Chain A
């Protein structure tokens, strides 16, 4: 990494941190800046409610990302989603089940479930087997998650994390079981497959807003607003860069 890259990275991170702090202030969080409605998440909330009412299970599949590589952010978002879903469905007869394709993620999913039940004072509901590693390779993971979707009275599936094209098997299994499915991934091939096969798909950065929409704490909402502002800053930089390049090309001056 060059010196300039480091500075740009730090500036972007610092700006993000400041924006989250500012938007998390009580005066800002109470303002009219609401989160934009997302059909997929609205239907997910309804599906969670229905699953609790019917005594069915929720299945959260966390993907195969390791928390120590570059796709780890999607895994962490999956864990936050799992925690919130476990808290929402705490009154259900059947606690949610989490599947993953990576050892670290499986252990963290068990820990997250324990943390969720502890925070709701319902530790008797906690079962370590509800957070499972279903396979160590992408196909083995998908093949291991399908019996969970079919055999554990699952009425709604949430696929959130890093997947590959093998996510098609999970989407097809949900379709065959006629269970609700919302899918979100940071991987482009998985997003294409999910768009074609899943009932509800979250595209691009919408994945990272899932915990904020379910959790709705001040910092989560503030991070979504900060994300929106940073996106506009990037758009402005891209447009200015393209404009400058055009002008410099017309004038015949070399640009960068």
Chain B
């Protein structure tokens, strides 16, 4: 077996956390909370290491002799300015937050606007991309449920049979979503079992 010690620790910790979740035993739950606390701290440190790695990649791109990426210089400069200002003023400083939000929020809103245009264009190209009845079903469903959930038929709520029919149709996407989520939950369960059996090892040890 590859990396038996790391695999053993992963399986043991995984089992303790799982049992602590299902079994209401004080000691197990304390151990689980303790281990999860460690995991949260490690994840935060990993975030910091990931960002440093991102900066190193862009540093190499900015200083490369061939195909130099000039946008990377802007990223490094922005990172340095934000980091130094954050360290000096602290992230909770009102003016620091104001400056960061004044740059980040408009950029993200612009990206959201581009996203909406991209999605609208994708809908138009869907029938070109996908042939067959499923594409038609997808488009018809999108149109029908957009109209139904817009409240356009809300005046039918009091009508005996039509009101019930519209209500049932409105709940139909919810049923479909639950079906997909049940599948995702089962997939997560079997992925967890594979990790606990040591078949999947997302660590080299």
Which residues of A are in contact with B by a Cβ distance under 8 Å?
1, 3, 6-7, 9-10, 12-13, 16-17, 20, 66-68, 73-74, 76-77, 79-80, 83, 102-104, 106-108, 110-112, 114-115, 118-119, 128-129, 132-137, 139, 143-144, 147, 151, 165-166, 168-169, 171-172, 186, 188, 191, 193, 195-197, 199, 203-205, 207-209, 211, 217, 219-220, 223-224, 226-227, 230-231, 234
Contact = CB atoms under 8 A, between A and B. Distances in A.
B184 to A, nearest CB: 5
Q: Which of B115, B118, B122, B187 has the most CB of A within 10 A?
A: B187
Counting from the closest, the 9 A-B pairs by CB-CB distance are A208-B187, A103-B50, A103-B47, A115-B204, A205-B183, A204-B183, A73-B188, A133-B50, A219-B199
Contacts of B22: 1, 6-7, 9-10, 13
A110 B57 CA distance: 13
Q: Which of A67, A106, A143, A223 has the most CB of B within 10 A?
A: A223
B138 interface: yes
B48 A196 contact: no
14 contacts: A10-B22, A17-B196, A20-B194, A68-B36, A68-B40, A73-B191, A80-B202, A108-B203, A133-B51, A172-B122, A204-B187, A205-B186, A223-B190, A227-B189
B111 A139 contact: yes
A144 B202 CA distance: 24
Interface string B177-203: 101111110111111111111011111
Contacts of B140: none
Contact of B108 (A111, A137, A199): A137
A13 B18 contact: yes
Contacts of A76: 191, 195, 200, 202
A220 B199 CA distance: 7
| Chain B: interface size category | 35 or more
A168 B204 contact: no
Contacts of B183: 204-205, 231
Interface in B83-123: 107-108, 111-112, 114-115, 118-119, 122-123
A133 B55 CA distance: 10
B60 A129 contact: yes
A2 B118 CA distance: 44
A103 B188 contact: no
Contacts of A103: 43, 46-51
A207 B191 CA distance: 10
B192 A73 contact: yes
A139 B115 CA distance: 10
B187 A219 contact: no
Contacts of A166: 111, 115
Interface of B: 2, 18, 21-24, 36, 39-40, 42-43, 46-51, 53-54, 56-57, 60, 67, 69, 71, 107-108, 111-112, 114-115, 118-119, 122-123, 126, 129, 138, 177, 179-184, 186-197, 199-205
Contact of A230 (B24, B46, B112, B189): B189
B195 A188 contact: no
B203 A227 contact: no
A67 B43 contact: yes
A119 B2 contact: yes
Given A3-B24, A133-B51, A208 B202 contact: no
Contacts of A169: 111, 114-115, 118
Contacts of B201: 115
Contacts of A115: 2, 201, 203-205
Contact of B47 (A13, A104, A186, A224): A104
Contacts of A67: 43, 202
A211 B200 contact: yes
B197 A20 contact: yes
